[in-house]
Amino acid sequence: MTAGKFVVALTLSLGLASSLALADSDSGAATVSATAPAAAGLFAKPLTLRGTLGDAKIEMHLQLKPDPTEGIQGSYVIAGQNAKILLAGESENTDVVMEESLNGKDVSGEWTGALVGNTFSGTWSTTDDAVTKPFVLVVQQPAQATHSSK
């Protein structure tokens, strides 16, 4: 993945489905993003991650979009707040690039990082790069189902 800037048009419908068009600022040509086969492995099952974004504690949920070739989607919540922030992006090998939206239309932040093992880490920034924060999130293991006969 190049270090170039990305311009992404994000459209979310009802907060569930989204489409992502990606344009590389060097070429100016827009192309529909495609998730690399490795991403299907990383996100084969929905993930719950917990950790920090700057000084804030957050919980994030990520999964493949209904059509896995369209990338990944999800949301996160900052501890102590009720607002769910929507996410949409793509993954290539271990690299993950996502944009967030508070209202499902306007991009409010960008996530750039890598999911290596059980740790997703990198940098969050505002769309104008005026504010940046490091993030470190750890994949939570699914709760073990307990069966009791009552």
pLDDT greater than 50 at residue 136: yes
pLDDT greater than 60 at residue 13: no
The domain spans of the chain are 6-139
Rounded Cα distance between 22 and 54, Å, is: 27
Q: What mean pLDDT is predicted for residues 117-139? A: 96
* Total-model pTM: 0.70
Choice between 85 and 149, residue whose per-residue pLDDT is larger: 85
Q: What is the pLDDT of residue 54?
A: 97
Q: What mean pLDDT is predicted for residues 104-124? A: 95
pLDDT digits (tens, 9 = 90+) for 55-90: 999 999 999 998 888 899 999 999 999 999 999 999
Q: Which residues contact 95 (CB under 8 A, 6 or more apart)?
A: 1, 112, 113, 114
pLDDT greater than 80 at residue 105: yes
DSSP conformation letters of the chain: --SS-EEEEEEEETTTEEEEEEEETTT--EEE----HHHHHHTSS-EEEEEEETTEEEEEEEEE-SSGGG-EEEEEEETT--PPEEEEEEEETTEEEEEEESSSSSEEEEEEEEEETTEEEEEEE-TTSSSEEEEEEEEPPPPPP-----
Lowest pLDDT segment from 24-33, 52-61, 121-130: 24-33
Candidates 2.40.128, 3.30.450, 1.10.530, 3.30.200; CATH matching 6-139:
2.40.128
Q: What is the pLDDT of residue 40?
A: 62
Q: What is the pLDDT of residue 111?
A: 98
Position 1 confidence tier, pLDDT thresholds 50, 70, 90:
very low
Choice between 145 and 33, residue whose per-residue pLDDT is larger: 145
